[in-house]
Structure 1
Amino acid sequence: MENISSSHILTVTALNDWDWTSRILFFSFALLVYLVTIVLNATMIMIIAFEKALHEPMYIFLCNLCINDLCGITGFYPRALAYLLTERNVISHEECIVQDLVIIVYGVGEFTSLSVMAVDRYIAICRPLHYHSIMSPFTVLCLLFFIWVFSSSVGLMAISLTLKYPICRHDINKLFCEHLSLMKLACKQDFFQGIFNGFLYISMSVLLVFVLFSYLKIILACRKSKVSREKFYSTCMPHLITFLNTSCGISDSLCTHFNVETLSRVVYTFLSIINLTLPPFVNPLIYGIKLGPIRAKIFNIFKGQRLNEL
């Protein structure tokens, strides 16, 4: 491995055309969304953690999804808010590498978590009599372990490739450090980087096809049973909406990979952050509204607060 350039300062160019008023307005909006996202996900985690009736595989995986979302937004928002407020759009190479690692773990973990949740819903609807024997506590623990180990391993592999060569460029055209953008800074790219990118896209595509195939099987099974249809609408629809919402973020990576320069800077910046900001905000809202036990618990909390005020 060649010597690693550790003293480089990188410049984030996504906000170069923004005036101070635009920065303040966007800072206020982003800070509000950040705080609301934290509250929504933390509320979901606490409800599942402290309500024993929700200690089932589906809700445990949902709790893990919320934890992953919190990790993702923590890797993005603080630094982005600092750019907006200070007008100092620079970041050290080391900090950029750490942010890249966190975001990769979040992105891969999001897809993997939703895929595992699809397996859980498939077994619950298509093989209900064997659900508890298949989705045992040990199986749930192994699946959670797989989610984090797989996403962390992909992140570490990506970082090792990023650090393989010194950097010759210093401009990042996004609001955060992302793997493909970092790789473009390197003085040299080799065959292994192309292999890794192909592996990443193929893995995500396989997970996407797997989830869609699972839901096709679920839909076909639901046609035969009214009970299965009710279970599908109550527990599967939120997950399917969440998965499709997350899948839309692939457009960001595709734009980066194929170097889409025809888009305006504002549109490109919006596409680059939507996959990091929208799913963590929307996920707890979808599940909180659609899942009856969680919705009932939230209503009970608000009722309890009103009674205390009276």
Structure 2
Amino acid sequence: MKDNFSVITMFTLSGVSGTTKYRLTIFVLALLCYCVIWLINVTIIVTTIIDKRLHQPMYIFLCNLCINGLYGTTGFYPKFLKDLLSFTNVISHSGCLLQGFVLHSSAGADFSILALMAYDRYVAICRPLAYHSVMTKQRVWVFVLIAWMVPLQLLLLSTVTSSTSRVCGSHIPKIYCVNYLVNKLACSASIAMIIIPAFNYTFYFCHVLFVIWSYAYLIRTCVKSQENRGKFMQTCLPHLLCLIVVVSSLLFDLLYMRYGSKTLPQSVKNFMAIEFLIVPPILNPLIYGLKLTQIRNGIISLLCSKRPST
């Protein structure tokens, strides 16, 4: 005898309902923010591609960090802007899983690329004589491929696991979908739904530990040499600031999802939810663009380029 239950195909994003009074204002601000994100990230990407002086490991990793910023925010802003103009803030089950996959895999790729950048700075400062033999062009592209493929595969596995579970609710108290909240709506939790997310969190926590270890080693090495101190301030400090921005933003949202107070105003909850979709995609390219001389000079050359006189 079959169980009587209705198959849930649509979810309600109730977080958007808290923006009813200020939807037009929020729409304009969100659209402006999205345009700024595209402008500054595309500027870094195009500058890195065009300027052959920037075809070096550190700038290639930075270019991929900017590409990932566009990838992650594209999974949120178009849907959010559409919801602000609509009175039915719903998303299909497959659309919810897709959005969760994009946002989660983008966060994972952020950590992977930041770990690569930390390794690059470690080799450049602590093993300068071996740098060009270690960070060859072929190896750099292999690293980049791994940095993208690993989070995509890990999150694809997590998303497939979520898609196979039967859900017993349709209410998501956020303005976007994440796999964690979809899993909370499952009628019963499978072992895979517990083990896979736990492995993913542990895996990327190890990335953070690796970056912290590498920078502790870098700082200890740089203290002994004035030249290395200059390298650290010029190339490592922006990376360290980016790491702090990404980790703090994601940790803020993760802790809120698990332990957030239900008494907080919806507007505060929404800001906490989208902080990592606003701050890192804007600050990361700005930090590098303002701090790294070659990037800054490349942007100026790109903007001020003139046709050669005939």
Coarse TM-score class (shorter-chain normalised)? over 0.9
Cα distance per residue 1:213-259 (max 9 Å; x no partner): 10011011111111111111111111000000000121212221346
Q: Hey, what's the Cα distance between the residues in 1 that align with 2:304 and 2:212?
A: 39
Q: Hey, what's the Cα distance between the residues in 2 that align with 1:160 and 1:234?
A: 43
Does the Cα contact within 8 Å between 2:71 and 2:106 map onto a contact in 1? yes
User: Are positions 1:83 and 2:83 aligned together?
Assistant: yes
Q: Hey, what's the Cα distance between the residues in 1 that align with 2:55 and 2:18?
A: 49
Cα distance per residue 1:14-44 (max 9 Å; x no partner): 0223334x01001100100101100111110
User: Are positions 1:270 and 2:271 aligned together?
Assistant: yes
By how many angstroms is 1:87 displaced? 2.6
Q: Residue type matched to 2:138 in 1?
A: F
1:173 aligned residue: 173
1:63 aligned residue: 63
Partner-residue secondary structure (3-state), 1:41:
helix
User: Are positions 1:256 and 2:274 aligned together?
Assistant: no
Q: Residue type matched to 1:134 in 2?
A: V
Does the Cα contact within 8 Å between 2:61 and 2:117 map onto a contact in 1? yes
Partner-residue secondary structure (3-state), 1:91:
strand
Identity %: 37
Q: Hey, what's the Cα distance between the residues in 1 that align with 2:263 and 2:185?
A: 21
Alignment of 1:151-230 (within 5 A): 151-230=151-230
User: Are positions 1:46 and 2:46 aligned together?
Assistant: yes
Alignment of 1:9-48 (within 5 A): 9-20=10-21, 22-48=22-48
Partner-residue secondary structure (3-state), 2:19:
coil
Partner-residue secondary structure (3-state), 1:86:
coil
By how many angstroms is 1:173 displaced? 0.8
1:102 aligned residue: 102
User: Are positions 1:246 and 2:246 aligned together?
Assistant: yes
Q: Which runs of 5+ in 1 are unaligned?
A: none
Q: Hey, what's the Cα distance between the residues in 2 that align with 1:201 and 1:271?
A: 20
Partner-residue secondary structure (3-state), 2:12:
strand
By how many angstroms is 1:262 displaced? 4.2
1:286 aligned residue: 287
Does the Cα contact within 8 Å between 2:8 and 2:169 map onto a contact in 1? no
1:136 aligned residue: 136
Q: Hey, what's the Cα distance between the residues in 1 that align with 2:19 and 2:235?
A: 43
Q: Residue type matched to 1:296 in 2?
A: N
Given the superposition, is the C-alpha separation of residues 15 and 134 from structure 1 closer, same or farther in structure 2, using an over 3 Å criterion?
Answer: same
Give the length in aligned residue pairs. 302
Q: Hey, what's the Cα distance between the residues in 2 that align with 1:139 and 1:260?
A: 46
By how many angstroms is 1:164 displaced? 2.1
Structure 1 vs Structure 2 CA RMSD: 1.8
Of 95-104 and 249-258, the range deviating more from structure 2: 249-258
By how many angstroms is 1:293 displaced? 0.5
Alignment of 1:120-131 (within 5 A): 120-131=120-131
Does the Cα contact within 8 Å between 1:7 and 1:92 map onto a contact in 2? no
Q: Hey, what's the Cα distance between the residues in 2 that align with 1:243 and 1:112?
A: 11
Partner-residue secondary structure (3-state), 2:224:
coil
Does the Cα contact within 8 Å between 2:48 and 2:54 map onto a contact in 1? yes
> What TM-score, normalized by structure 2, do the two folds share?
0.93
Does the Cα contact within 8 Å between 1:6 and 1:94 map onto a contact in 2? no
Q: Hey, what's the Cα distance between the residues in 2 that align with 1:283 and 1:83?
A: 27
By how many angstroms is 1:6 displaced? 7.2
Q: Hey, what's the Cα distance between the residues in 2 that align with 1:257 and 1:7?
A: 24
By how many angstroms is 1:292 displaced? 0.3
Q: Which runs of 5+ in 2 are unaligned?
A: 1-5
Q: Hey, what's the Cα distance between the residues in 1 that align with 2:300 and 2:148?
A: 32
Cα distance per residue 1:171-224 (max 9 Å; x no partner): 111111111111112111122222122212211221111101100110111111
Q: Hey, what's the Cα distance between the residues in 2 that align with 1:238 and 1:36?
A: 20
